Amino acid sequence: MIYIYKYLVLGVVLTTFCACEKELGALPKNDKVEANTILDQGTAQIALNGAYYYFANAVMAKTRWQSHQVAPAELAGYMGYGYGGFGMEWSNKNTNIQSYYWEESYKLINAVNGVVTGVNKLAENKFTGARKKEIIAEARFLRAYGHFKILTFYGEWYKADSPYGVLLRDKLSTISNIAKPRSTVKDSYDFILADLDDAIANGSEEKSGVYATKWAAMALKMRVLMSRGKAADYTMLIGLADEIVAEGPFTLEPKARDIFQKNGLSSSEVILGIKPQAGQELDYNAKSWQYWPGHSVLYVATPMLKDLYNNDPRQAWVIGPKRGTTTVSYFLNKYMVVGGIPTLVSETDYALRLTEVYLLKAEAIVRSGGSLADAKTVVHEVQEKAGITNSVNFIPYNAVEDANTPSDLLMEIYKETVKSLIAEDGMEWMALLRLPFATVKQIKPTIISQQLYILPIPKDVFVYNPLFGDQNPGYIKN
């Protein structure tokens, strides 16, 4: 991908306004392009669809969200690269992953800022009902998602007073405003939460699965609050979870396996997912093939992940057979069953699910000093959908019941988070880093410093944005 700052000339960037050029035609090359492009509700919706196209990281008629599934799980030690010899661990200093989320997220953010700018210029009578506010709410959700992704991979999100936050973008990028310093972690959180509060206040309440709703904004806000980790954040998080469960149009999938191998986006618990592009399951290099048999690349489960599922019925459908007789890795069956073929369901990605809402609530209860029994009840609700109860598959159930200190129960919640959300949107990695540093080192010994919680800022940033500031601690700027 061409680095985003090399082509942020206004007339080019605003091609993000359209899902395809046929719908809007060639864009005028002047500084009023956004006003001339978004003229009414219809063209505003097309522009918003273009932003969703970037959210899905759609390239050449395929959604490319596999970096969300694989890279965090590899950093956490639960997945690996199947070719070139197992054990080629992805680390923070691996140049292959340094720009993954940076480029993807800033393209999304820039597209969103174009939408917000154009829609805000239109009169209310250009829209029906509350649609103007809803479009802006969806856009601000996407901007919050992009900024939070950057914060959690390139900013010291775990240090409230750190100067190493996000390069915040709230305007469409032009040559004149490229140069800008990064913000502090505090200001980054404040900006992200402000976007989410607008999305909650003005977002649609209908169940969608593929568009950002009020409920998606509430669930994402839970992630943000858990990462910031103030005492008041946990209380607020629990309240959001209760509201989503009580008032939202979602229920836990009766059988967890059905989400990934049967129902996809139609699942009762999918809050926000990524719909595959038409026909992408037919592509020779469809994402599903990268789990089996591996048409161009192969991503596999590690023994560490297999062992985590010991005595857990999910091992039978998440972990596939061992790869041959000389390797020490396993096919990952969560999306693509060995011997199967890609389908629209296997090509689907998941950004937010109700299961995560439950597990974040359980973690917040413990971290806020709440009732361990209440937190255990919440975890058991998730386990039950995986076939784990106090009478069937009771070993994982009892592990939660026997966790009678906050630290022990947080560890069990972490394990359940990994098993429930592995290879979706990085929650196994974030859950690991929320544990005490000594525990993190014990689980993943190669993380010898908290500096390895985040990636280095891509080097091109310092070339095209001289005001950015310092490289992240522990990494070389040039």
Beta-carbon count within 10 A of 321 CB: 11
| pLDDT score at 61 | 85
Buried b (16+ CB within 10 A) or exposed e, 69-94: bbbbbbbbbbbbbbeeebeeebebee
For residue 82 the two structure tokens come to 């199947």
List the pLDDT tens digit at each of the 478 positions of the chain.
Answer: 233 333 332 333 333 333 333 332 223 333 333 446 899 999 999 999 999 999 999 988 899 999 999 999 999 999 998 886 544 455 666 656 778 899 999 999 999 999 999 999 999 999 999 999 999 999 999 999 999 999 999 999 999 999 999 999 999 988 888 999 999 999 999 999 999 999 999 999 999 999 999 999 999 999 999 999 999 999 999 999 999 999 999 999 999 999 999 999 999 999 999 999 999 999 998 999 999 999 889 999 999 999 999 999 999 999 999 987 767 899 999 999 999 999 999 999 999 999 999 999 999 999 999 999 999 999 999 999 999 999 988 999 999 999 999 999 999 999 999 999 999 999 999 999 999 999 999 999 999 999 999 999 999 999 999 999 999 999 988 6
What local confidence, expressed as pLDDT, does residue 1 receive? 29
Residue with tokens 């937010």: 352
The alpha carbon of residue 394 and the mean position of all alpha carbons in its chain are separated, in whole angstroms, by 31
- Give the pLDDT confidence score for residue 111 in this predicted structure: 96
What are the structure tokens assigned to 164, written together? 């190493």
Q: Which two tokens stand for residue 95?
A: 């140049």
What is the distance between the alpha carbons of residues 412 and 425, in angstroms, rounded to a whole number?
A: 20
Question: In this predicted structure, what is the pLDDT of residue 95?
Answer: 58
Q: How far apart are CA 305 and CA 295, in angstroms?
A: 23
Up-side HSE of residue 393: CA atoms within 13 Å toward CB? 17
For residues 123-149, one letter each, b for 16 or more C-beta atoms within 10 angstroms of the residue's C-beta and e for the rest, the string is eeebbeeebbbbbbbbbbbbbbbbbbb
- Residue 57 gets the label, from left (phi > 0), alpha (psi -120 to 50) or beta, of left
Domain boundaries, the chain: 1-75+95-184, 276-347
Q: Which runs of consecutive H residues, i.e. helices, occur in 121-162?
A: 131-154
Residue 30's pLDDT is 33
Query: How far is residue 59 from each of residues 1, 19, 27, 147, measured CA to CA in Å?
Result: 10, 11, 20, 21
Question: Which tokens is 407 given?
Answer: 């630290």
Structurally, what CATH architecture does the domain formed by 1-75+95-184 represent?
A: Alpha Horseshoe (1.25)
Query: How do the residues of the chain divide into helix, strand and coil, expressed in percent and rounded to 5?
Result: 50, 5, 40
> Collapsing DSSP states into helix, strand and coil, what is residue 351?
strand
- The contacts of residue 433 (CB under 8 Å, 6+ apart) are 158, 440, 453
Q: Rounded to whole angstroms, what are the CA distances from 68 to 83, 105, 295, 424? A: 20, 12, 19, 6
- Dihedral of CA atoms 4, 116, 203, 349 in degrees, nearest 10, equals -20
pLDDT at residue 27 in the model: 30
